[in-house]
Amino acid sequence: MSRPDPKTAKTWCALFAGQSVQESGMCRELWKNKAAREILERLKPSLGQDLEYVTTEMPEPELALTFNAQRAIHAHHLGHWFAYKASRPDLALDGVIGHSMGIAAALVAAGAWTVEDSGVFMAARARAFADVCASFKEPMGLAAVMTDFLGDYVERIDAFPGVTLALHNTIGRGTAGGTLAALDALARHSETEAWPMKVRVLKVEGPYHTAPFKAAEPALLKALAGVRLKTPEVPVFMGTSGKREDDPAEISRLLAAQPYTREKHFDAVWAAYDSGCRNFLEVGRKPQPVTWIADQLQDEDGGLMKDVTTLAVKTADLSPAPHPAAP
């Protein structure tokens, strides 16, 4: 990937990761950062008074539970984002993209939600997702799917008994959802049939972005009715639709439908590019979506578009001084 040129990279498209980036101690250093701590304290009333423990000390197995993971990740996103912004008052955005649950933080970055309202929604989302997972009669989950061109296998995956493509992330990466038995069968079938595709079952509680999670919709609609979503100040590119969304009513509808709708993150990134975004930025403990850009924005020869730059800012990079690679 190319690196940003301080003289030319004037605006950024900010990326926010989805569930699976949780890690024990993920916000330990953030609580020591004044700007980040102020945001984390503002999230406590909605995300829980145990938020500091959840994001600094909670063991991996407990943190992996949906209710805890989603709360921790949202706090991680906003803590990192505001800490970075505090040291970069000149930071300008021309778009935001949230991968799956990362859309909540993206909407805050876009000025469409307050920190507090985003916390109210994410608390309701985390609880609703956890309740759906608790209702399953048999073990269900997700499996990472990796191949050269995922588009060649979407129909085959969807046609496999008990399995649905839940997320399409890059040209060759996606995530399938279903019962664990069906996902294991898919992995065995792809190997037996010599498909050039790897299938790896993930440690999650449920098949997010598939039909069973429609049961979460009523709780999300109720939560959305109690918060104010404003018109974004910068373009928002949503994986639920795979395109730019500016209307608060439509964004709310998509937020409620997201749990059971295929996440078209790949399309959202291309929509941002087609809209003029060229510089992609992610701030986090271990940036993830920004590392996928080279597998998304490819030219005809399969290489990264030459006008695209990326910047991954890690926790250790956060400081009062301007980041040397920023515009």
What values do phi and psi take at 202, rounded to 5? -100, 160
Q: Rounded to two decimals, what is the model's pTM?
A: 0.93
Indicate if the pLDDT at residue 324 is higher than 90: no
For the chain, the domains span: 12-135+210-317, 140-201
Q: What is the dihedral of CA 320, 321, 322, 324, to 10 degrees?
A: -140
Terminal-to-terminal C-alpha distance of the chain:
17
Q: Which amino acid is at 242?
A: G
* 230 SS3 class: coil
- Of the pLDDT bands very low, low, confident and very high (cuts 50, 70, 90), residue 89 is confident
* Distance of alpha carbon 249 from alpha carbon 226, whole angstroms: 13
Query: What does DSSP say about strands 236-238 and 243-245: parallel, antiparallel, or unpaired?
Result: antiparallel
12-135+210-317 sits in which CATH class? alpha beta
Cβ–Cβ < 8 Å for 258, 128: no
* 84 SS3 class: helix
Over the stretch 223-275, which tens digit does the pLDDT of each residue have? 999 999 999 999 999 999 999 999 999 999 999 999 999 999 999 999 999 99
Question: Candidates 1.10.287.130, 3.30.70.250, 3.40.50.10490, 3.40.640.10; correct CATH number of 140-201?
Answer: 3.30.70.250
Candidates 42, 29, 112; CA nearest to 74 is: 42
Candidates 78, 88, 75, 98; CA nearest to 4 is: 88
Q: What percent of the chain has pLDDT over 90?
A: 90
Strand partners, 98: 16, 238
Q: Which residue has the tokens 């950024």?
A: 12
Over the stretch 289-302, which tens digit does the pLDDT of each residue have? 999 999 999 998 99
pLDDT attached to residue 325: 41
3-12, 56-65, 218-227, 264-273, range with the lowest pLDDT: 3-12
Over the chain, what is the mean pLDDT?
A: 93
